[in-house]
C-alpha cells in the first residue's frame, strides 16, 4: 500500500490538474473512507438503540408505531449496508488504479460527478444510456 499523499484541508480536485493524480486519488480515498466510517457509526448507534429500546408497550397503536419506526430504520440500514459494499468496491478500484474511469467506455468520469457520487462507475453519458435502455426493456 502506498503512503498517503499530502493533502491540504481545503483541497478540491480541479480540471486544470492531471486526472487522478496523487492528490485527487487521496482526496477521493479519504472522502470514501469518511463516508464509510459515518455509515458504520450510524449502524452501531442503531444497534445500540434497538438493544436499549426493546420494551413492552401496552398500547397497540404505540406498539405499531414503534414497529413501523424500527422497520423503516432497518430498511435504511440495509440500504446503507449495500452502500458500504459499493464504497468498498470504489476503494478497491482506487488501489487497483481504476478509480475515476468509466467501466463501460474507459473514459474519465467528470470530477464533479465523482465529487457528488464517489462510488460512480460510469460517466454521466454512459449512465444515461444505461438508464434509457433499462427503461425501454422495463416497458416491454
Domain count, the chain: 1
Bridge partners of 108?
101
Question: In the structure, what pLDDT confidence band is assigned to residue 62 with cuts at 50, 70 and 90?
Answer: confident
Q: Is 3 a member of any domain?
A: no
What's the rounded Cα separation, in Å, for the pair 100 and 119?
9
Q: Would 4 be classed as within a structural domain?
A: no
Average pLDDT over residues 9-36: 96
pLDDT digits (tens, 9 = 90+) for 33-45: 999 999 999 888 8
Residue 92 lies in a domain: yes
For the residues of the chain, what is the DSSP string, one character each? -PPPPP--TT----TTSPTT-HHHHHHHHHHHHHHHHHHHHHHHHHHHHHHHH-----SHHHHHHHHHHHHHHHHHHHHHHHHHHHHHHHHHHHHHT-TTB-TTT-PBPPHHHHHH-TT--S-HHHHHHHHHHHHHHHT-
Residue 105 pLDDT more than 70? yes
Q: Is residue 86 part of a domain?
A: yes
Instruction: For residue 36, give its domain range.
Output: 22-138
CATH number at residue 111: 1.20.120.910
Q: Is residue 2 part of a domain?
A: no
Please tell me which of 70-79, 112-121, 126-135 the model is most confident about, judged by mean pLDDT. Answer: 112-121
Residue 46 exposed, middle or buried by CB count within 10 Å (0-12, 13-18, 19+): middle
Give the mean model confidence (pLDDT) for residues 59-80: 83
9 inside domain: no
The three three-digit cell numbers of residue 133, written as one number: 435502455
**17 within domain boundaries:** no
> Is 54 contained in some domain?
yes
Amino acid at each position: 500500500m502506498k503512503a498517503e499523499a499530502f493533502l491540504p484541508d481545503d483541497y478540491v480536485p480541479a480540471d486544470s490538474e492531471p486526472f487522478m493524480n496523487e492528490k485527487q486519488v487521496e482526496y477521493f480515498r479519504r472522502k470514501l473512507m469518511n463516508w464509510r466510517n459515518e455509515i458504520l457509526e450510524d449502524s452501531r448507534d442503531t444497534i445500540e438503540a434497538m438493544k436499549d429500546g426493546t420494551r413492552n408497550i401496552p398500547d397497540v397503536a404505540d406498539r405499531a408505531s414503534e414497529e413501523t419506526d424500527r422497520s423503516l430504520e432497518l430498511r435504511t440500514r440495509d440500504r446503507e449496508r449495500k452502500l458500504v459494499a459499493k464504497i468498498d468496491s470504489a476503494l478497491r478500484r482506487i488501489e487497483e488504479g481504476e478509480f475515476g474511469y468509466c467501466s463501460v467506455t474507459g473514459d474519465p468520469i467528470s470530477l464533479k460527478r465523482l465529487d457528488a457520487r464517489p462510488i460512480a462507475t460510469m460517466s454521466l453519458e454512459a449512465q444515461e444510456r444505461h438508464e434509457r435502455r433499462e427503461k425501454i426493456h422495463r416497458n416491454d
